[in-house]
Amino acid sequence: MGRSLLMIPGPIEFEPDVLLAMARKTDSHVAPDFIDCFGRVLRNLREIFRAPNGQPFVVAGSGTLAMEMAAANLIEAGDRVLLLNTGYFGDRYATMLDRYGAEVTQLRAAVGSAPSLDEVEAALDAGAYKAMVVTHVDTSTGVRTDAEALARLARERGILTIFDGVCATAGERFEQAAWGADIYLTASQKAIGVPPGLALLVASERALDAWRRRREPPRSLYLDWAEWLPVMEAYEAGRPSYFGTPPVNLIYALDVSLRHLLDEGMEAVWARHRRLAEAARAAWAALGLRSVAEPGHEANTLSALYYPDGVDSTMLKAVAEAGVILAGGLHPDIKTRYFRVGHMGALRANDVLATIGAVEQGLIAAGAAISAGDGLAAAQRQLATSKR
Q: Which of 13, 79, 164, 172 binds ligand PLP (CB under 6 A)?
A: 164
Q: What is the x/- site pattern for ligand PLP, positions 172-191, by CB under 6 A?
A: ---------------x----
Q: How far, in Å, CA of 7 to CA of 2, rounded? A: 14
342 binds ligand PLP (CB under 6 A): no
135 binds ligand PLP (CB under 6 A): yes
Q: How many of the other CB atoms lie within 10 Å of CB of 211?
A: 18
Q: Which of 240, 346, 245, 340 is nearest to 298 (CA)?
A: 340
Q: What is the x/- site pattern for ligand PLP, positions 186-215, by CB under 6 A?
A: -x----------------------------
Is the CB of 10 or the CB of 195 nearer to ligand PLP? 10
The residue number with the shortest CB distance to ligand PLP is 63
Whether omega before 11 lies within 30 degrees of 0, making that bond cis, reads: yes
Is the CB of 55 or the CB of 301 nearer to ligand PLP? 301
106 binds ligand PLP (CB under 6 A): no
> Looking at this protein, which amino acid is placed at residue 180?
G
Is the CB of 187 or the CB of 347 nearer to ligand PLP? 187
Task: In angstroms, give the least distance from the CB of 65 to ligand PLP.
Answer: 7
Class of residue 241 by CB neighbours under 10 A (exposed 0-12, middle 13-18, buried 19+)? middle
Q: Are 41 and 258 in contact (CB under 8 A)?
A: yes
Q: Which of 352, 285, 357, 375 is nearest to 321 (CA)?
A: 357
139 binds ligand PLP (CB under 6 A): yes
Q: Are 329 and 337 in contact (CB under 8 A)?
A: yes
Task: In angstroms, give the least distance from the CB of 276 to ligand PLP.
Answer: 18
Which among 131-139, 145-153, 249-257, 369-377 is the span making contact with ligand PLP, rule CB under 6 A? 131-139
Is the CB of 166 or the CB of 353 nearer to ligand PLP? 166
> Looking at this protein, which amino acid is placed at residue 100?
Y
339 binds ligand PLP (CB under 6 A): no
Is the CB of 163 or the CB of 284 nearer to ligand PLP? 163
Which among 122-130, 160-168, 205-213, 325-333 is the span making contact with ligand PLP, rule CB under 6 A? 160-168
Q: How far, in Å, CA of 274 to CA of 291, rounded? A: 16
Is the CB of 167 or the CB of 324 nearer to ligand PLP? 167
Class of residue 19 by CB neighbours under 10 A (exposed 0-12, middle 13-18, buried 19+)? middle
Q: Which of 34, 57, 89, 235 binds ligand PLP (CB under 6 A)?
A: 89
Task: In angstroms, give the least distance from the CB of 89 to ligand PLP.
Answer: 4
Q: Taking each helix axis from N to C terminus, what angle separates 225-237 and 32-48, rounded to the nearest 10 degrees?
A: 110
Q: Are 324 and 355 in contact (CB under 8 A)?
A: yes
Q: Which of 166, 207, 282, 379 binds ligand PLP (CB under 6 A)?
A: 166
Q: Which of 252, 274, 294 is nearest to 344 (CA)?
A: 274
Distances (CA, A) of 387 to 38, 134, 142, 282, 382: 36, 32, 25, 16, 10
Q: Which of 5, 7, 8, 10 binds ligand PLP (CB under 6 A)?
A: 10
Q: What is the x/- site pattern for ligand PLP, positions 29-68, by CB under 6 A?
A: ---------------------------------xxx----
Q: How far, in Å, CA of 202 to CA of 173, rounded? A: 15
Q: Are 192 and 186 in contact (CB under 8 A)?
A: yes
By CB under 6 A, the count of residues binding ligand PLP is 12
167 binds ligand PLP (CB under 6 A): yes
Residues forming the site for ligand PLP (CB under 6 A): 10, 62-64, 89, 135, 138-139, 164, 166-167, 187
